[in-house]
Amino acid sequence: MAQQYDNFIGGKWLASNSGKTFENRNPANIDDLIGLFPASTAADVDAAVGAAKNAFAAWRLVPAPKRGEILYRVGELLKKFKEELARIETREMGKVLKESRGDVQEGIDCAFLNAGEGRRLFGETTPAELPDKFAMSVRMPIGVCGLITPWNFPLAIPTWKLFPALICGNTVILKPAEDSPHTATRFVEILNQAGVPPGVVNLVHGRGEDVGAALVRHKDVQLMSFTGSAAVGREIASVCGQNLKRVSLELGGKNAQIVMEDADLDLAVEGALWGAFGTTGQRCTATSRLIVHRDVAKKVVDELVTRAEKITIGDGLDERNQMGPLINQAALEKVQRYVEIGKSEGARLRTGGAISHGDRAKGFFFQPTIFDQVKPNMRIAQEEIFGPVLSIIEIASFAEAVAVLNGTAYGLSSSIYTNDVTRAFRAMRDIEAGITYINGPTIGAEVHLPFGGVKDTGNGHREAGTTVYDIFTEWKSIYVDYSGKLQKAQIDNAE
């Protein structure tokens, strides 16, 4: 009998109002049923929002340093349960254990970063324009926040959103992806163990069209933070815009790595392999395009193909494996469909391009796939595939490389390998992306720097770092006039 899990609302574990559940299965072995989770409804969302709204009145008045002390305890518990969390994560979403441990470590880092900000959360003081008057700005919590998170970083991304929301004095409803509910459940158990008061954090499982939509439309949710596809992000932005609700979106990417003719080619190949096939290509920062100078293209491509064919594929819980499965059947079919699109467009399939069978027949495994002779306007070079598919585009100059890199609707992460400092600085200036790496792959963000992108990658907000507090707080300007008389501002006071 599979274990059945509940929602967490107002400090209590509760079954869904619907009484229905959905299955959570291991993508490396679909016979492995992890558990049954609540197929929640709008009624469950309403209950969670009510609990969060009630808890906000007291939580907002807890001094931020005291809120930080709770987050320190959360960080210590995440350290204590790091291996358990990593194994839960690998079992339900497939990435290899080494990557899952990194995901949990990112959550730990995020806990301590935000805990420390409880003693900062800086505003500004500034001279007033009138005598005997004081002026300053401070951050204020917003209220109830809805957080919709994806399956590919099932611990790290919830921490990116939830910890800043809490340290700022907000309360939250977390709606995790249907493909990774167990990690979210264990995370909320840890938050509860650390002493987060009832109602401050609420967890509601279920489908996006049921739970996510109800959360976005709820009148008492003041802010929505979403990570996912651009199509869904546009719909959320539209609904939030109609209701003047704050919304933060972190959406897709079509990230590229440039390799110039003067680059360290061994290093560039290592970066491309990790960027393209780490997490089975299922990262918003994954390297899906490799833009290579024609003078070194053959050498780079041949080496990439040789090394990609040596990648060991299998269950991420087996530490001998380097790449795990795709998340589900729909993802497998999508990647296969794009392989056929690439071939029909005239790109040359150099390796991979097929489902990986053998002893992996009960999982959603796909071979590391490389296309060359790709043109910049091909669909495989423009559309987000979210799988282990790398498209290689040859260029003749640095200027052409930057133009090709910028020539998509997205702008999340970017990379250039070169030993020319002039090119490096011009790339930093001219590449249209929220993240640019010099001589490093497109993946590997750090929690103390802003994370996000331009164009269709989002709506201008940045998670992580200190910029995230601009999402989860309102600015209030405060004036104290101690002159003892009426001083009229914003009129002409000149004698």
How far is CA 422 from its chain centroid?
Answer: 32
Specify whether the CB–CB gap between 187 and 88 falls below 8 A. Answer: no
Whole-angstrom distance, CA of residue 183 vs CA of residue 102? 14
Catalytic residue numbers, as ranges: 250, 284
Two tokens, residue 355 = 């489902």
SS3 content of the chain, % helix, strand, coil (to 5): 40, 25, 40
Q: How many CB atoms within 10 Å of residue 349?
A: 17
CA atoms within 13 A on the CB side of 136: 9
Whole-angstrom distance, CA of residue 114 vs CA of residue 464? 9
Whole-angstrom distance, CA of residue 103 vs CA of residue 1? 30
Two tokens, residue 214 = 């109800």
Two tokens, residue 375 = 């043109």
Residue 390 vs residues 146, 275, 326, 393, 396: alpha-carbon distances, Å = 34, 9, 15, 10, 20
Whole-angstrom distance, CA of residue 125 vs CA of residue 255? 40
Two tokens, residue 169 = 């004095």
- The three-class DSSP label of residue 290 is strand
Total H helices, total E strands in the chain: 14, 21
Specify whether the CB–CB gap between 92 and 26 falls below 8 A. Answer: yes
Whole-angstrom distance, CA of residue 93 vs CA of residue 86? 11
Whole-angstrom distance, CA of residue 258 vs CA of residue 437? 10
Rg for the chain (alpha carbons), in Å? 24
Specify whether the CB–CB gap between 263 and 418 falls below 8 A. Answer: yes
Whole-angstrom distance, CA of residue 224 vs CA of residue 247? 5
Please give the backbone phi and psi of residue 311, each rounded to the nearest 5 degrees, phi first. Answer: -65, 130
What sign results for the dihedral spanned by CA atoms 10, 12, 15, 17? negative
Four-point Cα dihedral 259, 261, 265, 270, nearest 10: 0
